[in-house]
Structure 1
Amino acid sequence: MNNKQLWINHIKGLCICLVVIYHSVITFYPHLVQSQTGLPEYIAKSWIYLNLYLAPFRMPVFFFISGFLITRYIDVVKWRDCIDKRLWNIFYVLLLWGVLQWLGITLINEWLAPELVRNPTSNAAYSENLLQFATSMAKASTSLWYLYALVLYFLVFKSLRQYKVPVIVMLLALNVVISFMPLPWWGMNSVVRNMCYYGLGAWFGPQLMNAMKAFSPRQRPLFCVAAALVSTALYLVNVPLVISVLSIFVIMKLFYLLDNWRESRPDAFLNIVGTNTIAIYTTHRIVIEALSLFTLAQIHAGHLSDNLVLAILLVYPFFSLAICTLLGLGFRKLSRVLCGDMFFSPPKKRVMATDAG
C-alpha cells in the first residue's frame, strides 16, 4: 500500500484494536461484577457499558474499508480470478482457525476453569462435538464471523452489482428491522446487520471517499450539529444505522486530515497492526481466553492485593491488546519462516507461487 493510502490501513489497525478490546472486556469483566463491590465494581461496569457504546464505531467502518478495498474485484476482475484470493484464501483461514480456536479454547477451559459451565451452542469454540461445531460455524456463531461475512458479502455484492441502488436500500432497511427483530443466532445477526456497510464501501466507496475529502465541517456547522443530534437520538431508540454511517464518515475524515497534517508512516503502530489484521484477528481469541481465565482465577483466589486488582481492572483491555498484538504478529512471523505462512495462506497457493517463481 503506497503512502497516499496508509491512512486507510491505519483505520484497519484501529478497528482490529477495538475488536480485541471488545473481546477482552466481554470475557473478563462480566465475571467480576457479582464478586466485586465499591470502586472495582464501578470500574468493571464502566468497561462493560463503554464496550456497548463503542459498537457503532467498531465494525461498520471496518466493513466499509474492507468493501472499499475490493471495489476493483467487484467491478472489473472476472469471477475465475477472484476464486483464489477473495474466496478460497479467506475460507481456508476461516475453517483452519475455526478448528484451531475450538481445540485451543477447549483445552484452555479444561485446564484453567474446568468448573465453568459454557453454552456449547453459543460459540463454535465451546462446541462439545463435531456436529455442534459444524452447526455453529454454518450459523456464523463463531468469533471468526468477520471472515464468514467477507466470503458471503463478496459473493452477494459481485453477483448483484447491476442492482446497486435497490439492494443497498433494502440492506439499509434490513439493518433497521433487525434492530427490533433480531435473528436467533448472534453471529448471523451480526453478518446481516453489517452487510450494508460493506456494500457502501464495495459499490459506492470511491464516490463516498471523494465526498468525504471535499466536505468541510467549518462550512456547514449547523448540518454537522443536526446530524450529530439526530443520529444520537436514533441510537438511543435502538436505531444505530445513522450514527454508524456517520461514524464511518467522521473516522475517515479524521484520519485523512491527520495524514495531510503529518504523513502516515509505514512503521507506525496502527499501520503494522492494520497490515496484519488477519493474524491478530484469528489468534487473539485464544490468547484472550487464556489470559482472562488465568487472571480471573488469581483474583477470585485472593492471590492479588486490592490495589493490584484495582490497577488490573483499570488497564486490563489495553494490557490484553498489547499481549494479543505481540503474539499475533510473532505467530505470523513464525508461520512465514517455519511453514511458508501455511496458517494464513492455503498450501496449494504456496505451491503455485513456488512453481511460478
Structure 2
Amino acid sequence: MTAKKDTPARQDWVDIAKGLCILAVVGLWGARSLIASDGSASWLGYLSAFAQPFRMPDFFLISGLFLGRVIDRPWRDFADRRVLHYLHFLVLWAPILVVGQWLLGLQHPQGPADALAQLLLALWKPPAMLWFLLMLPVYALVSRALRGVPPWHVGLAAAVMHLFPLHTGVPVLDWFGEFFVFFHAGHRLAPFFLALARWTSERPRRALALLALWAPANAVLVHVQPAPWPLLALLLGMVGIGAVVMIAALLQTRRLGAGLQAAGRDSIVIYLGFWLPMQALAPLLAATGLPLALRALLLPAGAIAAALLLHRLARRHGAAWLYRRPPSMQLAGRSGADRNDAPPARAA
C-alpha cells in the first residue's frame, strides 16, 4: 500500500499518539538522569525500557504519515513545510541548549574559540534530543528524491540499513540508516495505519485483546533480548507502532485522550523546552531526599510543566518566535497551513 494524495484528514488519534511518544521521550531522559545520580530509575526505568523499541520509531513514522499530501507540491512549498520548518527550530534551539548547559554548569567552554566550536558542533551533532529535528528534513528530501523508485525497493534498502547499522562516524548518516525505515513506512503505509485506527475504533474489544497479548510479550522480549536482536528490534518497533496507533484510537473518546491530544498538539513546545528544566530540577529533587519512586514521577512531570510554562511566558512577553516561525522566515508563496498538511511536530 502506498500513500495517496486523497489520504484522509489528520485525525485526533494522530495527536494522541504523538502525545504518548513525547511522554515516552521525556521519560527516557528522566530515567537517564536518575540512573546517572542514583544508579537506578525505579519504575521509570522499566517503563522507559518497555517503550524503547517503538519510542523514536513511532515519532518518525507519524512524521511520515502525511508526507504524501505535500511530496509532489512545488519545491518552494515543500521545502517550507518539510525542510525549513524543522531547520529553523534546530538552528534556533541548538545554541539555546548549549548556552543553557554552560549556565547550569554542565559544560565549561575553554575560552571564546572553544565556545564557538561547541556552538557549531551543535549543528553537526545536535545536543540532547534535537537530532530529531535534523533528521526530518533529511528524510523528507530523500523521500522526494526517491519518489519515482518502487516503494518496496526503498523499503528493503531501508530495512537492511536498520538491520546492519552504519558506523561511519558521521552522525546524520548513522541516524539515517537507523530510522529511515520507519519514516518510509509512515509515508508508504499510511493507508494501512489509518485503516488500523478505524478498525480499532470499530472493534475496541478485539483491539484490547490484541493489546493484552502484545504488552507482556513486548516486556519479556525487551528484557530477554534474544538473538538476532536487530531483526527482533525491527519487528518489535513495527508491532509497537501498531500498538500505539491502536491505543491512541481507543483513547479518542476518553478524557485521558484529550490530555494526550493536547500534549501531541504542543509536542514541539514540550520537545524543545523540557530538557534544560530537567537538568536543573534533577539535582534539586535529589537534595530533597524524597523516595526515588516519587522523584521518578516528579522529574518528568516537572520538566513538562516547566516547558509549558516557558512557552506561555514566551507568548506573553513577545518571544513567541521561539516556538513559531515568523512570516519573515517563511518562503514567499506558501499557501495557508491546514491541519492535513501541517508537520507533525508543529509549533504551537
Shorter-chain TM-score tier: 0.7 to 0.9
Q: Quick one: which amino acid aligns to residue 192 of structure 1?
A: G
Q: Are 1:73 and 1:82, in contact at CA under 8 Å, matched by a contact in 2?
A: yes
From the two aligned structures, give the one with the greater helix fraction.
1
Q: Are 2:124 and 2:171, in contact at CA under 8 Å, matched by a contact in 1?
A: no
Deviations 1:308-327 (A, max 9, x none): 432xx103232122222222
Q: Summarize the alignment of residues 83-98 of structure 1 with structure 2, pairs less than 5 Å apart.
A: 83-98=79-94
Moved more, 282-291 or 183-192: 183-192
What secondary structure is seen at the aligned counterpart in 2 of 1:246? helix
Deviations 1:64-112 (A, max 9, x none): 11111333112x32211122232222111111110111111211126xx
Pairing partner for 1:341 from 275, 299, 320? 320
2:44 and 2:330 mapped to 1: Cα distance? 46
Q: Are 1:86 and 1:151, in contact at CA under 8 Å, matched by a contact in 2?
A: yes
Pairing partner for 1:27 from 20, 26, 33? 33
Unmatched tracts of structure 1, length 5 or more? 34-42, 111-117, 121-126, 299-303
Unmatched tracts of structure 2, length 5 or more? 1-7, 337-348
Tell me the matched-pair count: 313
Q: Are 1:140 and 1:187, in contact at CA under 8 Å, matched by a contact in 2?
A: no
The residue number in structure 2 matching 1:62 is: 59
Residue 105 in 1 paired to residue 101 in 2? yes
The residue number in structure 1 matching 2:145 is: 159
1:4 and 1:144 mapped to 2: Cα distance? 25
Label 1:209 to 1:330 Cα distance change in 2 as closer, same or farther (>3 A).
Answer: same
2:19 and 2:126 mapped to 1: Cα distance? 23
Q: Quick one: which amino acid aligns to residue 323 of structure 2?
A: F
| TM-score, with length taken from structure 1 | 0.74
Q: Are 1:89 and 1:346, in contact at CA under 8 Å, matched by a contact in 2?
A: yes
What secondary structure is seen at the aligned counterpart in 2 of 1:56? coil
Deviation at 1:191, TM superposition (A): 4.4
Residue 196 in 1 paired to residue 181 in 2? yes
Q: Summarize the alignment of residues 304-343 of structure 1 with structure 2, pairs less than 5 Å apart.
A: 304=288, 308-310=289-291, 313-339=292-318, 341-343=320-322
The residue number in structure 1 matching 2:131 is: 145
1:141 and 1:326 mapped to 2: Cα distance? 21
Residue 177 in 1 paired to residue 193 in 2? no
Q: Are 2:77 and 2:331, in contact at CA under 8 Å, matched by a contact in 1?
A: no
Deviation at 1:188, TM superposition (A): 5.6
Q: Quick one: which amino acid aligns to residue 167 of structure 1?
A: V
1:30 and 1:187 mapped to 2: Cα distance? 27
State percent identity of aligned pairs. 23
Deviation at 1:15, TM superposition (A): 0.5
Deviation at 1:62, TM superposition (A): 1.4
Deviation at 1:10, TM superposition (A): 0.7
Label 1:270 to 1:257 Cα distance change in 2 as closer, same or farther (>3 A).
Answer: closer
Deviation at 1:263, TM superposition (A): 5.9
Q: Quick one: which amino acid aligns to residue 289 of structure 1?
A: Q
Deviation at 1:294, TM superposition (A): 2.9
C-alpha RMSD over aligned residues: 3.7
1:183 and 1:316 mapped to 2: Cα distance? 38
| TM-score, with length taken from structure 2 | 0.76
Q: Are 2:31 and 2:44, in contact at CA under 8 Å, matched by a contact in 1?
A: yes
Q: Are 1:9 and 1:270, in contact at CA under 8 Å, matched by a contact in 2?
A: yes
Task: Give 1 or 2 for the bigger CA radius of gyration.
Answer: 1
